[in-house]
Amino acid sequence: MIVSERLKAIELGREGDPFAVLGPHPLGTGVVIRAFLPGARDVAVVDEDDNVIAEAERAGDAGLFEAYGAAMPHRYRLRVGYPLGPVTIDDPYRFGPLLGDLDLWLFAEGNHLDLYRVLGAHPHEIDGVRGTRFAVWAPNASRVSVVGDWNHWDGRVHAMRLRRDAGVWEIFLPGVGPGARYKYELLGPNGDMLPLRADPFAQRSEKRPANASVVTAPSAFAWSDDAWLQSRAEKQQRDAPIQIYEVHLGSWRRIPEQGDRFLTYGELAEQLIPYVAELGFTHIELLPVTEHPFDLSWGYQTTGWFAPTSRFGDPDDFRAFVDAAHRAGIAVILDWVPGHFPTDAHALGKFDGTPLYEHADPREGFHREWGTYVFNLGRNEVQNFLIASALYWLREFHLDGLRVDAVASILYRDYSRKEGEWVPNKYGGRENLEAVAFLQRLNTIVYGHVPGIATFAEESTAWPGVTAPVEFGGLGFGYKWNMGWMHDTLHFLERDPLYRGHHLDGISFGLVYAFSENFVLPLSHDEVVHGKRSLLGRMPGNEEQQFANLRLLYALMWSHPGKKLLFAGGEFAQRAEWRAQASLDWHLAQYGPHGGVQQLVRDVNRISRERGALHERDCEPSGFEWIAYDDWRNSVVAFVRWDAARDGHVVCAFNFSGVRHDRYVLGVPQPGAYAELLNTDAAAYGGANLGNGGSVTATDRPAHGRPFSVSLTLPPLTAIWLAP
């Protein structure tokens, strides 16, 4: 017998087990059906043919009704009389449990690799009734409801069933379908009302500044990239040319005639992808398109871990963008951010009234530098949430890789923390052992379950084995950003050329560790914001010298061991810092020196793809040999790159001084003619067109410890590539 206190709790929205009160229940020799329908005048139980079986009576003052009968059909419906007229509905409280015991057990163990198909909102049909099933993890809440337009955002109406073993709340809502806006209303452990929460597993969200989740139909997109998926593994191997164009979709290009609006995913597919292909890049890396509320966070303050941002279109529009990239032969990498999450009231923080996704101790669970929460990677369910997110993007959107942001902040317990602000691990060390296990598990799973993908770590320290296999104690990433190379190289090139000769170790030191990991050389968005100036603006000298130095930087980068990454705007030497709130300065590309840099990027991409020596042994010491690294008088550096068969090579020479060197004798591997593959002083690039007439001949004059040499003209601030 249901006591009056529980009926009152239903009316007040305080009942934690609504299925024990509402819906059909045995009563005496018959069945009672209870329904809570605020605003209803009368309620009748009807069969599938709309025949009245029982009239309901009021059981309270706020919309609670009871109907009693000797027997009730399993598939009954409720005819509800409202002031505007009657409505016949299916009772959500007549449906049994939704999630299987195996689903709940796998989630609690942290091993449900299809979790995004179980939790969240999914259009569904039960007993011929169409609706949406909702499920959310909130083990410490005392009541959870789904609220939306259909129930006037009244949390008393559709309270959910708790599956206690896994802490998951669930309900099937007939009549709620794709496009419906919704959130979860939760009461905390002490019954306090929490801010409405967006669905952690929502696959679509409203466009900011609104932030409700949106019920999403299963994708109807027809992919056309089967051939790409079958062959992409070879395009992402260590011996492949990997040349990445990093881009923030919201600022790549805008439409000023229409309020400076963003391009849509469709427009980006039509404009960005052909542009990237024409420049010769092999990959596009997207700053996070995971849903986020604040434009200027660039996507790194993620609130939608399963939702492409609605700024540019819907999820199938994003699928079409990726499909178009694959048709153009371009891989797509997504920036993915498991290191932290924002404190927005509708997001994950203290989700059920307790620290659920984050650590309870702020010394572990809060980033003071970023003002964000830190995931509790020691919790099975949190690991499962993040790994399911990674799998979702790779599987459902056919993405070719994930670049994991801020790995150092995940690995170190004292990252950006002072003494006393962090908690040592169980051995007293600073290493986050749970995070190590998580990253190893993440890479093991995504590589094992999605063939051909690659993962990239933005890891800014000397943590050993970031790209070593997990079975050998490594983290298991495919590639690691070489932050040391980036810092040393930019610092070197920012020097006045007059003094560079005394600092050539800024170039040579990177080769001490260049093959300790599978490296990507990044000139990313982080290097052209926050007062650092653009890459062009960071170069010393007058305008002509700045352009020459930038061309020299790109030639060094594209010939140096390691894969390549350049942020959008760098390819045409944007003068201003990157601004996320505005389009790139495309008008500059029409001017000579800017267009010249753009042409240089086309050519280094093409030459690097065509010449195996410039990519096949990027990650192997046998692919690199110094010719000169200590010519401090002339400020010249030179080296050889070898291909995999070691029967092809490219000689790369760099004059970092502002002085022209005539008849510079450079040792080379063999005699005979050498073609000038690249001269960054060429007129086509905006240079003075000094050089070697397209070729030189190696003689048996020894130099640099080699039996053969060439005599070169090295223009100031110029790189020259030679090949037999």
Q: Which burial class, exposed, middle or buried, applies to 339 when counting CB atoms under 10 A from its CB (0-12, 13-18, 19+)?
A: buried
Cα 521 to Cα 486: distance, rounded to the nearest angstrom = 7
Q: What is the biggest distance separating any 2 CA atoms in the chain, rounded to whole angstroms?
A: 110
CA distances to 53, 276, 603, 615 from 558, rounded to whole Å, are: 78, 17, 10, 9
DSSP 544-555: HHHHHHHHHHHH
The C-alpha atoms of residue 293 and residue 301 are separated, in whole angstroms, by 8
> What's the residue count for the chain?
724
Residue 71 backbone phi and psi in degrees, to 5:
-155, 150
The CA-atom distances, in angstroms, between 113 and each of 87, 338, 385, 445, 454 are 40, 17, 9, 9, 18
Give the whole-angstrom CA distance, residue 395 versus residue 446. Answer: 10
- DSSP assignment of 557-586 equals HHHSSSEEEEETTGGGT-SSPP-TTS---G
Q: Which of 645, 648, 631, 646 is CA-nearest to residue 714?
A: 631
What tokens were used for 465?
Answer: 């084995």
Going by the DSSP 8-state scheme, the letter that residue 345 receives in this structure is T
Residue 390 phi/psi, 5° resolution? -60, -45
Is 458 assigned a catalytic role?
A: yes
Comparing CA positions, the residue from 356, 318, 337 lying closest to residue 407 is 337
CA distances from 36 to 41, 77, 83, 193 (A): 12, 14, 16, 20
* Residue 5 phi, psi dihedral angles, 5° rounding: -65, -35
Return the half-sphere exposure (C-beta side, CA atoms, 13 A cut-off) of residue 376.
Answer: 20
Of 402, 409, 412, 411, which Cα lies nearest the Cα of 475? 411
How far, in Å, CA of 283 to CA of 242, rounded? 7
Residue type, 555: A
Q: Which of these is catalytic: 66, 90, 316, 405?
A: 405
DSSP state of 653: E
State residue 527 phi and psi, 5-degree precision: -90, 0
Question: Does the annotation count 405 as an active-site position?
Answer: yes
Q: Of 285, 458, 618, 681, which is the active-site residue?
A: 458
| DSSP category for residue 288 | P
Report which DSSP code applies to 289.
-
Tokens, residue 276:
């990237």
Q: What is the 3-state secondary structure (H, E, C) of 127-175?
A: CCEEEEEEEEECCCCCEEEEEEHHHCCCCCCCECEEECCCCEEEEEEEC
Is there a contact between 401 and 450 (Cβ–Cβ < 8 Å)? no
φ/ψ of residue 647, rounded to 5: -115, 5
Instruction: Kindly list the distances between the CA atom of residue 233 and the CA atoms of 116, 400, 401, in Å, as whole numbers in the listed order.
Output: 25, 9, 11
Helices (H) and strands (E) in the chain, counts: 16, 37
Alpha carbon distance 709, 253 (integer Å): 48
Q: What does the DSSP 8-state code read for residue 378? A: T
DSSP category for residue 380 = H
Residues serving a catalytic function are 405, 458
